[in-house]
Amino acid sequence: MVEDEIIKPDDSIDLRGVLCPMNFVKTKLKLEMMEAGKVLEVVLDDGEPMRSVPRSLKEEGHKIIKVENVQGVYHLLVKKA
Amino acid sequence: MDQGIVKQRVDLNELKSGGFIKQNQKDLFTVRLKVPGGRITPEKLVKIAEVARKYSRLGYCHLSFRQSVEIVGVHIDDFDAVVKELATIGQKVASCGPRVRVPTACGGCEYNPNGIMDTQAKALEVDEKFFGTPCHHKFKMSFSGCPIDCARTREMDLGFQGVVYPEWSKDLCNGCTLCAKACLEGAIVSDKEGRPMFDESKCVYCGDCIRACPTDAWKDKKTGWLVRVGGKHGRHPREADQVVNFLPDSKVNDFIAATIQWYHENGKPKERIGTTINRVGLDSFKEKVVNAFTQS
């Protein structure tokens, strides 16, 4: 898969310190307010959030197009289905 | 309880495979109902509740450790009526004693995201085919859909647990490292480019990497059942031995039949199959039963 290095998110949600499953629920609600094809940046803690949230997003049909580790904090780019 | 009285008062065929368990109280029995896999319709629950309200002389039910509903305190004179009334909605009585018991199973792959194999369908099928088969001692089976193993296959005489073999395709991988994050076993470590290095010796075949992968670079190459035999709890617990990995779904019934056959031939009365394996040797079981399924 070819990575597009310059994808600019349309919106962002910072979920550092937010526990499972509330972090996923907040992401879901945010995505519901966006149009299909738009990109949301999701900022997540390492550990359980990184194990659960991406998988749940995939189950909902959304596409994770980029994962970046910025000094131990994860930035996900999610394309709304 | 005088067995002679039982014979006079009730239809012996109903008692053939047990399911009526003697209580402390004179003439009162616990009636154990068959709930394969623990899944039951509201209609059946309502009918069972009606029957229990009418016939339980103690006024309660009990949920057994193996997913059965038990009506406690049924008088011996009411056996026939209880069986007949439950039969109107197809509710059958379960078993006790030295025979194949009702199989248990986890909730079900239709709604549990971890589920790999269809435990509910298999529990029903196996119950239909093997329930009540006489053995040297009790013979318990269970089905877990994934390696979390909610149905505790390690404690069963014969246990089946769902497994999935993950296969990685380089072309689809974008190096996101989510699979390494998802893997709780340390079987996947990301290299410098974020691509997975897979150590199969640590893999439990749960499929978390497949579910996490956003680009479908991880896929299921095959699914099947991990088979464990000879487990039990009770006074002298024994952890089951793993004997097959990735038994195809279509071979489960054959494997059960072959195992029961071996148990018949090698076991002694009142001996669980785990004890037989301890006495005769796991190698003998593998040679006579397992090899035919792993060599194809």
Selecting among A9, A10, A11, A20, the annotated active-site residue is: A20
Q: Which domain holds residue A70?
A: 11-79
Using the Cβ of B186 and the Cβ atoms of chain A, whether some distance falls under 8 Å is answered with no
- Kindly state whether residue A2 falls inside one of the protein's structural domains: no
Kindly report which listed range (B4-13, B21-30, B201-210) carries the lowest average pLDDT score: B4-13
Other beta carbons within 10 angstroms of residue A34's beta carbon come to: 15
pLDDT at B7 over 50: no
Nearest chain A Cα distance for residue B50, angstroms: 39
Same CATH topology for B3-87 and B104-167+205-294? no
3-state SS assignment for residue B232: strand
Residues of B within 8 A of A58 (CB-CB) are 211-214
φ/ψ of A53, rounded to 5, equals -65, -50
User: Do residue A58 and residue B214 have CB atoms under 8 angstroms apart?
Assistant: yes
**Separation in Å, CA B135 to CA B12, B84, B157, B222:** 20, 28, 12, 34
User: Do residue A1 and residue B184 have CB atoms under 8 angstroms apart?
Assistant: no
With pLDDT > 70 as the criterion, what percentage of chain B qualifies?
A: 94
Question: Is residue A34 flagged as an active site residue?
Answer: no
Using the Cβ of B184 and the Cβ atoms of chain A, whether some distance falls under 8 Å is answered with yes
CATH 3.40.1280.10 for domain B3-87, yes or no, is no
In whole numbers, what is the pLDDT of chain B averaged over residues?
93
- Kindly state whether residue A4 falls inside one of the protein's structural domains: no
ipTM of the complex, rounded to two decimals: 0.83
Total number of domains in chain A: 1
- Kindly state whether residue A75 falls inside one of the protein's structural domains: yes
Map out the domains of chain B as residue ranges: 3-87, 104-167+205-294
Using the Cβ of B182 and the Cβ atoms of chain A, whether some distance falls under 8 Å is answered with yes
Q: What is the pLDDT of residues B57-102, one digit of tens each?
A: 999 999 999 999 999 999 999 999 999 999 999 999 998 889 999 9
Residues of B within 8 A of A46 (CB-CB) are 181
Q: Which among A3, A54, A66 is the nearest to B212, CB-wise? A: A54
User: Do residue A1 and residue B174 have CB atoms under 8 angstroms apart?
Assistant: yes
Residues of A within 8 A of B168 (CB-CB) are none
- Kindly state whether residue A5 falls inside one of the protein's structural domains: no
CATH code, A28:
3.30.110.40
Binned at pLDDT 50, 70 and 90, residue B243 comes out as very high
Q: Are strands A39-44 and A11-14 parallel, antiparallel or unpaired?
A: parallel
Other beta carbons within 10 angstroms of residue B171's beta carbon come to: 7
Nearest chain B Cα distance for residue A57, angstroms: 9
Q: What is the pLDDT of residues B96-155, one digit of tens each?
A: 889 999 999 999 888 888 899 999 999 999 999 999 999 999 999 999 999 999 999 999
- Kindly state whether residue A3 falls inside one of the protein's structural domains: no
Using the Cβ of A20 and the Cβ atoms of chain B, whether some distance falls under 8 Å is answered with no
Suggest the residue from A50, A53, A76 to mutate for an interface test with chain B (most B CBs closer than 10 A).
Answer: A50
Give the pTM. Answer: 0.90
Per-residue model confidence (pLDDT) at position A5? 62
Using the Cβ of A49 and the Cβ atoms of chain B, whether some distance falls under 8 Å is answered with no
- Kindly state whether residue A6 falls inside one of the protein's structural domains: no
- Kindly state whether residue A45 falls inside one of the protein's structural domains: yes
List the alpha helices (DSSP H) in B62-182.
Answer: 79-87, 119-130, 178-182
CATH number of B104-167+205-294: 3.30.413.10
Nearest chain A Cα distance for residue B159, angstroms: 29
Other beta carbons within 10 angstroms of residue B37's beta carbon come to: 24
Integer-rounded Cα Rg, in Å, for chain A is 12
User: Do residue A64 and residue B181 have CB atoms under 8 angstroms apart?
Assistant: no
Average pLDDT, integer, range B8-34:
77
- Kindly state whether residue A22 falls inside one of the protein's structural domains: yes
Instruction: For residue A47, give the DSSP letter.
Output: S
Binned at pLDDT 50, 70 and 90, residue B190 comes out as very high
Q: Which among B113, B176, B181 is the nearest to A51, CB-wise? A: B181
φ/ψ of B117, rounded to 5, equals -115, 155
User: Do residue B177 and residue A67 have CB atoms under 8 angstroms apart?
Assistant: yes
